[in-house]
Amino acid sequence: MEKIVEMNNIHKQFPYVKAVDGARFDLYKGEIHSLIGENGAGKSTMMKILYGMYEIDDGEIILSGERVTDHKYTTHTAIERGVGMVHQEFMLVKEMTVLENIILGSEPTKKGSRNVAIDFEAAREKIKFYIENYHMAVHLEKKVTNISVGEMQRVEIIKALYRGADILILDEPTAVLTPQEADQLFEILNEMRKDGKTIVFISHKLKEVMKISDRVSVMRAGKYITTVKQSEITMEELAELMIGRKVFLNTKRTPPKEGEVVLEVKNIFVPSERELSKIRGISFNVRKGEVVGVAGVDGNGQSELGEAIAGLRRVEKGQILLGGEDITNKSALQVRRNGLVHIPEDRNDRGLNGTHTFADNMLAAEIRNHPYSRLGVVNSKKIMEEAWKRSEKFDIRPRDPSNIAGSLSGGNAQKIVVARELGAAGKRFLLAAQPTRGIDIGNIEGIRKMIDQAKVEGVAVLLISADLDEIMSLADRIIVLYEGRITGELVNEEWIDEGKLGYMMMGGGDKNE
């Protein structure tokens, strides 16, 4: 088989971290090649380098026998050379239509207009081929804001193919899909392989990797570990290669000791910029000492639900009670005073102030209270004392809380958020939104244990997560959200059928319907 990509001895340094440290990678024409590793292993960086988004500090890239790194190698050159990439965060312009997004950067033009006026008709014709050939339904005239996540991904794939990509890199493509949508994607990828396209599949979901790949490359901490044929390895061996030790991601869930109702959501309606994320009348309770998990594909109203409870988004109708008190449309501060603690879903945007110290971040929610301040004057000594204690308790590395939060890796940054929220006194209700998103496996385990521990201490927990494994390992009860409505509710017993959960996440009703 023909070797079409070779990356040798690649080095890439970012301000705080060496993302890629002497790694290599290669591709044969017509294969599906998985690149696996934990979060932060450098797999995305490696592929962004191949796509020309990052300049390398050292090393070489050879495409079809030609050393392209001899000259300036940019995204533009990568596209010209037939490399396409579908990013984990979709690179779509929301305010533009699907059609405009697909052609952006390689627009067909009307004859006689000197390549100035766009020929939308010709573009539609050309795109139709990909839609039909690979069975990827997309609405060309809709604005991207108004389409589902699954459709956005199809748009991204068509976008890459439209640019003539022969090598298609997919960065964690199934993270935002239901199990059924993921299967559909795999069918599309298999079709493409038959057509002679080469696919790089970045993932850490080993089940999927085993299902789809011809070969698998493993990275760990920026370094290249090995490349193996799918037929010559087992999932367990892959896991060990990826993590470097034997880990079993099964947080032992403590059985719930249910007490009185703490959070009561009564038929609420919550607005959203996105049609599918509007909450349209949902009700549920969370009791003291239990974890209720909210499952669902990203973008079905999970964020809006969390924000509405935390006082960050307007509720149009309905009521939210916390500890028997009405907190509907109260300010975030008032809701906190009623006993809410909140791990927000976007750590960098809402969770943490990257320019402040660990200590400031850890005490940010309590800085108004005695002894951390008096009459508006902050008592730095008390803050540092408490911060040291929490640093120990929540195992934050480095320990010293006078460090700046922005320098931390995902896992430790998130532990600071957890330390702020779970270290606080007087908490009754924990709202944990995507608490382990984008962090490494070691710290995922730790944070899940902390959430379970909070439950044992009698806190009511609402866990919103797109990660089904996380919901399964922590939640006592699961509610499934689809297009802003609850499509199912089930008790997390010995064995839950993942197919059934997936079906509910796609809008299929539960046994009652």
Residues that bind other proteins (CB under 8 A): 51, 53, 74-76, 78-79, 85, 87, 89, 91-96, 100-101, 103-107, 109, 115-118, 159, 269-273, 278-280, 316-317, 484
Q: Which residue has the tokens 């470097």?
A: 244
Cβ(318)–Cβ(267) below 8 Å: yes
* Choice between 41 and 92, CB closer to other proteins: 92
Nearest-angstrom CA–CA distance, 19 and 454: 34
* Choice between 100 and 452, CB closer to other proteins: 100
Nearest approach in angstroms of CB 484 to other proteins is: 7
Q: Is 379 exposed, middle or buried, given 0-12, 13-18 or 19+ CB atoms closer than 10 A?
A: middle
Nearest approach in angstroms of CB 364 to other proteins is: 28
Nearest approach in angstroms of CB 280 to other proteins is: 5
Q: Helices in 206-288 by DSSP H: which ranges? A: 206-212, 235-243
- CA terminus-to-terminus distance, the chain: 53
* Choice between 19 and 432, CB closer to other proteins: 19
Q: For residue 436, which phi and psi values (nearest 5 degrees)?
A: -120, 20
Nearest-angstrom CA–CA distance, 470 and 8: 37
Nearest-angstrom CA–CA distance, 429 and 287: 9
* Choice between 74 and 250, CB closer to other proteins: 74
Count Cβ neighbours within 10 Å for each residue of 243-256 and write b for 16 or more, e otherwise: beeeeeeebebeeb
Cβ(230)–Cβ(214) below 8 Å: yes
Residue 91's identity, in one-letter code, is M
Cβ(19)–Cβ(42) below 8 Å: yes
Coil, helix or strand at residue 132: helix
Nearest approach in angstroms of CB 442 to other proteins is: 30
Q: Helices in 312-461 by DSSP H: which ranges? A: 332-337, 358-362, 380-393, 410-422, 441-456
Question: What distances in angstroms separate CA 70 from CA 96, 160, 369, one per listed residue?
Answer: 37, 25, 60
Nearest approach in angstroms of CB 156 to other proteins is: 10
Q: Which residue has the tokens 């405009």?
A: 100
Nearest-angstrom CA–CA distance, 467 and 473: 10
Nearest approach in angstroms of CB 78 to other proteins is: 8
* Choice between 18 and 94, CB closer to other proteins: 94
* Choice between 5 and 85, CB closer to other proteins: 85
Candidates 136, 19, 4; CA nearest to 83 is 4
Helix/strand/coil (H, E, C) string of 304-352? HHHHHHHCCCCCCEEEEEECCEECCCCCHHHHHHCCEEEECCCHHHHHC
Cβ(149)–Cβ(176) below 8 Å: yes
* Choice between 116 and 425, CB closer to other proteins: 116
* Choice between 93 and 367, CB closer to other proteins: 93
* Choice between 290 and 304, CB closer to other proteins: 304
* Choice between 118 and 364, CB closer to other proteins: 118
* Choice between 104 and 210, CB closer to other proteins: 104
